[in-house]
Amino acid sequence: IDLRPGGVYRFVSTDAEGNEYAFRGEYREIVPPEKIVWTFEF
């Protein structure tokens, strides 16, 4: 996780059968402690 505007994140979730599902996105706006704006791709 790179929590800054333009930073990216990626998570991988694994189900009970071992299948992996990846999620990723980009942080667009950070206003502590008020707001985080990000994209989400599956």
The answer to whether residue 32 sits within a structural domain is yes
How many structural domains are present in the chain? 1
pLDDT for 2 beyond 90: no
**Residue range 4-33: mean pLDDT, rounded:** 96
Nearest to 21 by CA among 11, 29, 31, 30: 11
Q: What is the pLDDT of residue 13?
A: 97
Domain residues for the domain of 22 are 8-38
Q: Which residues of 7-31 are buried (b: 16+ CB within 10 A; e: fewer)?
A: eeeeeeeeeeeeeeeeeeeebeeee
Domain assignment of residue 23, yes or no: yes
The helix/strand count (H/E) of the chain reads as: 0, 3
Question: What would the pLDDT profile of 21-37 be if each residue is shown by its tens digit?
Answer: 999 999 999 999 999 99
Tell me the pTM: 0.74
Any domain includes 3 = no
Question: Is residue 34 a part of any domain in this protein?
Answer: yes
Is 1 domain-assigned? no
